[in-house]
Each structure stands twice: as C-alpha cells, then as structure tokens.
C-alpha cells in the first residue's frame, strides 16, 4: 500500500508501508533532494559541460533523481545515458499520477519508458531514447540486476545515485559486496552520492574501493556521503577514528549477494555482539 505525501518544497512523494519510510526526505523536499543530494554532489553540471555523462541510478523509484539528471542534460544540450533498476514497476506508474508541479513537462520520460518495454537477459527493461538522452530501467531485484550487467558495464559510469530505503530496512543494497560490484562499474574518479551518513555504510564504501567524504546536510543535521572511486578518504578526525576503530563501523555483509535482508542485519549484529563480548579465560581454552 502506498500513500501520497507533500514534501517541504511542495513536491510530491509516496510512503511505503512495506518499508515504513517515505520515498524521499519529507523535510528536504523530493525534487530538492534530487538536486542537492545527487545531481550537485556527483558534479553532473560540470561533467555535462565537458561532454557526455553516464549515470547509474540505484533504485529508480519515482524516477526523480533520473529526471533531475535528464533536466540538466536537456538544458545543457549534452548526451546523457542513465541505467537504473527498480523492483516495483507500480511505483513508476504511481509517480505519473502525482502532481509534479513545474516538473510536469518531464513526465514525457516516464511515459516513454513505460511504452517501450523489452526483455533483456531475463529482465523486463523500460527504454527511452531520443538520440541525445537514453534511459534504461531494469525491473528486478537490484543484486540480481547488478550481477547480470556488471561485466558489460565495467568502468563505465561517471556517477552513481545511491538511493535505496535506509540501511536498517533495506540492508541488501548497502553491503560491502554490493558496493564492490558497483565500484567495478564506475570509472576512476567517478562519484557515488548517497544520503546516508551511517558508519557501516561509509566503512563498506571505503572497503569497496571508494574514498569517502562528507556531503551536504539537506533538511536535517546529518551530512550525506560522497564517495570517489580511487579517491582519498577525508573525514573529520573523530569520524575517521570511529571508521577505523569502532565496532559500530562493522559493515553489512552479503557474501554471495543473495541473502535475505534479515540475515544480513543479523549477521552484522552478531559480529558486533561478539566483538563487544569479553570471554572469561576458561571459555577460551
């Protein structure tokens, strides 16, 4: 069941009963979040000035992050390719029914996607192409999609919009193994941007081959995260120390990229429990 909500900037979003979370930050605003947490930190405007840009949209959802990138490319008159994935096609259909206000002219993209469906590698894909802008959305479970396409798109993407629900409810898309696969598909110097500031997420990104930095705070006090492939990790001293030493930095793990979310959460809690437990000497021998 999904409910409509109006966010702080007047743009609409939905609330997911399954995950118990809205699809966008209500306090930041849905379209503002796309711009401030994804488009700007990934340097999309600067990249478009130099030429064509390829974006991986992790969790297409209502399509707002992709739409913001398409809008940027449309005004810059530069080529853009976005590859996204989403497990629930109904969300895309529901998005079209919302009042997008001044972004409404960009609904052509979702309508175009839903009109051009193909089967590729066992997945349903939605496709849009007008010569300069190309968008392909795989409908399916994210880890299965990434496993299927990671070789074909090795070192391909300039930017990644990483926007699942929060790690506590959607842990399968925040693991070391998942970020490692994503890292393989990004160019050196490519940027992954995500709203999460959590320690296990930053640690997983760091282990996966990204340099981690703090991003902006939009609609809340905590800052987001910007991860640069092959870059240096630069965090305030206190955060750096926590990243290196705190047991709470233990990342989510999913060795074969197919464990159920509850197992991924419990595996991490179990590790933290063991690391926090001092065993009496007689237990060790």
Ligand X SMILES: C[S@@+](CC[C@H](N)C(=O)[O-])C[C@H]1O[C@@H](n2cnc3c(N)ncnc32)[C@H](O)[C@@H]1O
* Residue 276 in tokens: 């926090």
Q: Is 85 in the site for ligand X (CB under 6 A)?
A: yes
Contact call for residue 132 and ligand X (CB under 6 A):
no
The neighbouring-strand residues paired with 186 are: 157
Nearer to ligand X, 87 or 242 (CB): 87
In 3-state terms the chain splits into helix, strand, coil percentages (rounded to 5) of 40, 25, 35
Q: Rule CB under 6 A: is residue 172 a binding residue for ligand X?
A: yes
CB nearer to ligand X: give 172 or 243.
Answer: 172
Question: With contact defined as beta carbons under 8 Å apart, do 161 and 24 qualify?
Answer: no
The answer to whether residue 87 forms part of the interface with ligand X (CB under 6 A) is yes
Which of 6, 52, 116, 170: binder of ligand X (CB under 6 A)? 170
64 binds ligand X (CB under 6 A): yes
Tokens 């429990």 identify what position?
Answer: 273
Q: Which of the residues 8 through 47 are near ligand X (CB under 6 A)?
A: 23, 34
Beta bridge partners of 85: 58, 138
Choose, by CB under 6 A, the member of 42, 55, 59, 235 that binds ligand X: 59
Instruction: Give CA torsion, residues 249, 183, 172, 221, to 10 deg.
Output: 50
d(CA 44, CA 191): 10
Among 142, 167, 215, 219, which residue sits at the site for ligand X (rule: CB under 6 A)?
A: 142
Q: Does 88 bind ligand X (CB under 6 A)?
A: yes
The site for ligand X, by CB under 6 A, has a size of 21
Report the alpha-carbon distance of residue 196 to residue 155 in Å, rounded. 24
**Out of 62, 82, 137, 212, which residue is the one contacting ligand X (CB under 6 A)?**
62
Min CB(151)–ligand X separation in Å: 19
Alpha-carbon radius of gyration of the chain: 19
At 87 the three-state DSSP class reads coil
Residues forming the site for ligand X (CB under 6 A): 23, 34, 59, 61-65, 85-88, 91, 141-142, 163-165, 170, 172-173
């Amino acid at each position: 069941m999904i409910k409509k909500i109006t966010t702080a900037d007047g743009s609409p979003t939905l609330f997911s009963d399954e995950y118990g979370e809205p699809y966008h930050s209500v306090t930041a605003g849905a379209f503002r979040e796309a711009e401030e947490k994804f488009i700007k930190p990934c340097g999309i405007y600067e990249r478009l000035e130099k030429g064509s840009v390829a974006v991986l949209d992790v969790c297409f959802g209502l399509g707002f992050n992709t739409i913001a990138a398409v809008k940027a490319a449309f005004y810059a008159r530069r080529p853009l390719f976005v590859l996204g994935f989403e497990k629930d096609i109904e969300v895309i259909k529901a998005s079209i029914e919302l009042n997008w206000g001044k972004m409404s002219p960009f609904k052509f993209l979702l309508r175009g996607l839903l009109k051009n469906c193909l089967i590729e590698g066992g997945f349903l894909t939605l496709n849009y192409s007008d010569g300069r802008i190309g968008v392909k959305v795989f409908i399916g479970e994210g880890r299965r999609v990434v496993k299927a396409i990671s070789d074909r798109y090795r070192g391909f993407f300039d930017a990644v919009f990483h926007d699942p629900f929060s790690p506590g409810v959607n842990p399968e898309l925040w693991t070391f193994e998942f970020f490692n696969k994503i890292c393989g598909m990004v160019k050196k110097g490519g940027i992954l941007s995500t709203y999460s500031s959590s320690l296990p997420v930053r640690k997983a990104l760091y282990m996966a081959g990204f340099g981690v930095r703090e991003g902006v705070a939009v609609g809340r006090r905590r800052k987001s995260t910007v991860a640069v492939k092959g870059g240096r990790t630069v965090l305030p001293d206190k955060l750096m120390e926590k990243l290196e030493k705190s047991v709470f930095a233990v990342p989510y793990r999913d060795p074969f990229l197919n464990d159920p979310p509850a197992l991924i959460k419990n595996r991490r809690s179990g590790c933290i429990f063991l690391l926090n437990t001092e065993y009496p000497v007689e237990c060790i021998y």
